[in-house]
Amino acid sequence: MKYQSKIENNTLRCEICPRMCHLKEGQVGYCNTRKNINSNIELIVFAKCASIALDPIEKKPLYHFLPASNILSFGTLGCNMGCLFCQNWNITKVKPNEYKYPLQKITPFEIVNIALQNNYKSIAFTYNDPVAFFEYALETAKLAKKSGIKTVAVSAGYINKEPLKEFLTYVDAINIDLKAFSEEFYKKYCNASLDTILDNLKYIKHNTNTHLEITTLLIEGLNDSDDILKKECSWILNNLGESTILHFSAFHPDYKLLNYPKTSLKTLLKAYNIAKSEGLKYVYSGNILNKETSTTYCPKCNKAVIERYGFKVLNFNIINSNCKYCGAKIDGVF
């Protein structure tokens, strides 16, 4: 593995994410996917899929990148985050040798070939965080780029700058899960740091050509206060710009956060309205069906340019990236 260094004797340091795990011979990292084998850190889930499927790209969620297209999506096991509310805990919190289903052996070449043979425009690294299978995702992204296929990453963004820089050289779009605009929340509920995520968001926006969208999963009573939401939206506006695409997603009780309620539509609408009032052009809600807050509106004439219901695009009124009605530019990759 490229991002590692020797500490002492047979102890190696993994340098892909800020955890910087120190691994002795035979030890596995926090993510459960990297192991010190014969004085080399190896990805033990390389070319091993827990899930591979064809999804609407809106499910990622990506609303401004190849809308209404299908995307070949795959993931492995493990995660370098410690979210107590993980909605995919059945694959992120399990060790490969303890997973109850057989993993599918699929090489990067085979994944790209599936996309080519079926004329799929894009491939997604999703279901679990691609930081946990960085080497697998990176090799797939490199092959996809050579073949003219777009790639998408769905990630919490908890990764060191050098591997992020290399990864985004090949990845065309990314959705970052911004868990909450609170360092306290990140430490208590994610075992991670907000500052790292914010630094990486600024890097993605200002130093790469990768299309960026952001998702915040709202948990009532934990990260949905007016103050936290205003701070988040204000930071996005001032550091990433008014055209940044922001999704608010509904939580359902899962993993170790079973005593909190499902997020209500009322809470999603509150967050939506706060983001709009702070000056963000493109704001959406997810995991609860609502046509109004799933639709893209032209920032100039306010007419619906992409009407959605759930993951389905009902009407598409963009011509050459411009509003069909007034000609204003709509930000994204269409």
For the domain that residue 56 is a member of, what is the CATH number?
3.20.20.70
Q: Are 141 and 166 in a shared domain?
A: yes
Q: Are 86 and 16 in a shared domain?
A: no
Q: Are 240 and 274 in a shared domain?
A: yes
Task: Determine the pLDDT at residue 143.
Answer: 98
Q: Is residue 10 part of a domain?
A: yes
3-state secondary structure of 83: coil
End-to-end CA distance of the chain: 36
3-state secondary structure of 156: coil
Q: Is residue 58 part of a domain?
A: yes
Q: Are 263 and 212 in a shared domain?
A: yes
Nearest to 49 by CA among 99, 117, 115, 113: 99
Q: Are 227 and 261 in a shared domain?
A: yes
Q: Are 109 and 138 in a shared domain?
A: yes
Nearest to 210 by CA among 178, 179, 164: 164
Biggest distance spanned by C-alpha atoms of the chain = 67
With left for phi above 0 and alpha for psi between -120 and 50, is residue 119 left, alpha or beta? Answer: left
Q: Are 23 and 57 in a shared domain?
A: no
Q: Is residue 284 part of a domain?
A: yes
Q: Is residue 22 part of a domain?
A: yes
Given a cut of 90, whether residue 9 has pLDDT beyond it is: no
3-state secondary structure of 285: strand
Domain interval for residue 233: 48-294
Q: Is residue 90 part of a domain?
A: yes
Query: What's the chain's average pLDDT?
Result: 97
Q: Is residue 299 part of a domain?
A: no
Percent of the chain scoring above 90 in pLDDT: 98
Q: Are 165 and 284 in a shared domain?
A: yes
Q: How many structural domains compose the chain?
A: 2
> Looking at the whole model, is its pTM more than 0.95?
yes
Q: Are 20 and 167 in a shared domain?
A: no
How does pLDDT run across 118-142, given as a tens digit for each residue? 999 999 999 999 999 999 999 999 9
Q: Are 123 and 237 in a shared domain?
A: yes
Q: Are 206 and 67 in a shared domain?
A: yes
How does pLDDT run across 184-197, given as a tens digit for each residue? 999 999 999 999 99
Q: Is residue 231 part of a domain?
A: yes
Q: Is residue 318 part of a domain?
A: no
Q: What does each C-alpha distance from 229 to 7, 61, 204, 250, 251 come to in angstroms?
A: 42, 20, 22, 14, 16
Q: Are 58 and 30 in a shared domain?
A: no
Task: Determine the pLDDT at residue 309.
Answer: 95
